[in-house]
Amino acid sequence: MINSFRFLSCLAALLALLSGGVTGAHAERFYLDITAQDVRKVMVAVPWFSGDAAQGKQMAELLAKALEFHGFIQVVDPARHGGGSEADWRSLGVDYVIIGRYETAASGMLVEGRLLDVAEDEVRFGRRFRGTIQQQDGMVLRLCDAIIEEFTGEPGISRSRLAYVSDVTGRKEAYVADALGLGHRQITRHKHLVVSPRFLPDGIHLSYSSYHTGNQNLYLTDLRQDKETRAISRRKGMNLAPAWSPDGRSMIMTLSKDGSPDLYLMDPQGNIKERLTSNAGINVSPSFSPDGGTIAFVSDRSGTPQVYLMNMATRQTRRLTFEGRENTEPAWSPKGDLIAFTGRKDGTYQIFTINPNDPSSQRQITTGWGDCESPTWSPDGRQIAFSRRGGNRQQIWAMMKDGRELRLLYNLKGNQSYPQWTGPME
């Protein structure tokens, strides 16, 4: 058993080394492989943060929720250890214990966390954050994301955000929410149909298409304020759903100003730089590869909607999907290894993935009731969110990229659609 004296001694030995960065006892990092389907979940205990009992419990519960959101961690029921930091962790099957504490003062707040490796009987990691009392939840989530990075080598996504469309007001408007559902903010108030919200790479701006003037125009808003939005394309006909290049210097969107919906390369101010498709059916739903070198898009040039790839250096195009008569809404993984898309099978819409270099790799990852549409990747490329329609309700769900850990992301009034995932707004 690890007793509290030995544990506190470890903390004391490491305290002098903590200066706001990650500190661990290991010279080498051994990251967990969380991509295998048969991987055992990491068992973690999260005792209440030291300090006021009610506040410390609240902080621990938020940290536990954020950790489990990543899909490879299971937090031990605190009832098994009474929320305390002293227990026989090995007998409880615990792999790691996170000991948290906080302090408040007139100057603000300090939140601190330590990761105890039970098997090695040592503190593996420590991190502290300072901020205002109002930033308490944000500091807890930063601690979570740092712990996830300690496990996997990549920062966690507990502070990431999703944009989506909701009709809760009676009209379809754009909203932005934290991935954990801590806050939902209405962005547009056009009192008309809004579709396809898209974050810019900076995470600060949001583009969307709206019909409130009678035409489907493209707009851009700065999320740091609530009062102003500006039109960046008001051409007659469709001004739809731009894909923003990874560097934010250009976008590709669908315009139908000359009749047929085609893809155009444009600058952020809405000026056309180049027409990318012409006389090749309907062309919509572009999505950039992470390196900006290729786009996936949808075209019916073969007679049915299918996913195509275009090399942005040569403009050469090739068909990617061949299974099924309707494949739409491609979304390129941030890791570049997969494209998620919506496909119609047996009368319903489902989510599929495919390796962009291997058309035979197509794989269905949702099954069962309801239409599943509009896939979007988490910033770490490990999860997919999408809209799912069952009966008269359309809601946003999420899952791991192989279909595991399927769960309802937001339980809200009305219907939610067109999700798009992005990182935190720093």
The model's pLDDT over 136-168, given as tens digits with 9 standing for 90+, comes to 999 999 999 999 999 999 999 999 999 999 999
> How far is it, in rounded angstroms, from Cα 82 to Cα 88?
12
Based on the number of CB atoms within 10 Å of its own CB, is 396 exposed (0-12), middle (13-18) or buried (19 or more)? buried
**What CATH number belongs to 161-422?**
2.120.10.30
> How far is it, in rounded angstroms, from Cα 359 to Cα 318?
11
> How far is it, in rounded angstroms, from Cα 41 to Cα 358?
31
Q: Which two tokens stand for residue 18?
A: 């903590």
**Distance, C-alpha 138 to centroid of its chain:** 17
Sheet containing strand 294-299, strands side by side: 283-288, 294-299, 306-311, 317-319
Strand blocks (E) in 22-152: 42-45, 73-75, 96-105, 108-117, 122-131
Q: Which two tokens stand for residue 165?
A: 């469309």
Confidence of residue 353 (pLDDT cuts 50, 70, 90): very high
Please, what is the average pLDDT of the chain? 91
Residue 332 has pLDDT above 80, yes or no: yes
> How far is it, in rounded angstroms, from Cα 334 to Cα 119?
34
pLDDT score recorded for residue 233: 96
In order, the DSSP letters of 146-184 are HHHHHHHSS---TT-EEEEEE-TTSS-EEEEEETTSS-E
> How far is it, in rounded angstroms, from Cα 353 to Cα 337?
10
The model's pLDDT over 30-66, given as tens digits with 9 standing for 90+, comes to 556 655 556 789 999 999 999 888 999 999 999 999 9
Residues 6+ apart with CB under 8 A from 52: none
CA atoms within 13 A on the CB side of 151: 25
Pick the range with the lowest mean pLDDT from 49-53, 54-58, 282-286, 321-325. Answer: 49-53
Confidence of residue 247 (pLDDT cuts 50, 70, 90): very high
First-to-last alpha carbon distance for the chain, in angstroms, is 41
pLDDT score recorded for residue 329: 98
Cα separations in angstroms, 76 against 73, 93, 187: 10, 9, 38
Residue 277 has pLDDT above 60, yes or no: yes
**Where do we find the tokens 């069952």?**
390
- Backbone phi, then psi, for 146, in 5-degree steps? -70, -35
> How far is it, in rounded angstroms, from Cα 177 to Cα 160?
9
Confidence of residue 425 (pLDDT cuts 50, 70, 90): confident
In one letter, which amino acid is 264? Y
Q: Do the Cβ atoms of 330 and 307 come closer than 8 Å? A: yes
Percentage of the residues of the chain whose pLDDT score is greater than 90: 85
> How far is it, in rounded angstroms, from Cα 337 to Cα 89?
39
> How far is it, in rounded angstroms, from Cα 209 to Cα 418?
12
Based on the number of CB atoms within 10 Å of its own CB, is 5 exposed (0-12), middle (13-18) or buried (19 or more)? exposed
The pTM (predicted TM-score) of the whole model is 0.90
Which residues share a beta bridge with 398? 385, 407
Domain with CATH 3.40.50.10070 in the chain: 4-152
CATH fit for domain 4-152, picks 3.40.50.1980, 3.90.1150.10, 2.40.10.120, 3.40.50.10070: 3.40.50.10070
Q: Other CB atoms closer than 10 Å to residue 18's CB: what's the count? A: 15
Domain with CATH 2.120.10.30 in the chain: 161-422
> How far is it, in rounded angstroms, from Cα 417 to Cα 385?
11
> How far is it, in rounded angstroms, from Cα 157 to Cα 70?
8
Q: Do the Cβ atoms of 93 and 50 come closer than 8 Å? A: no
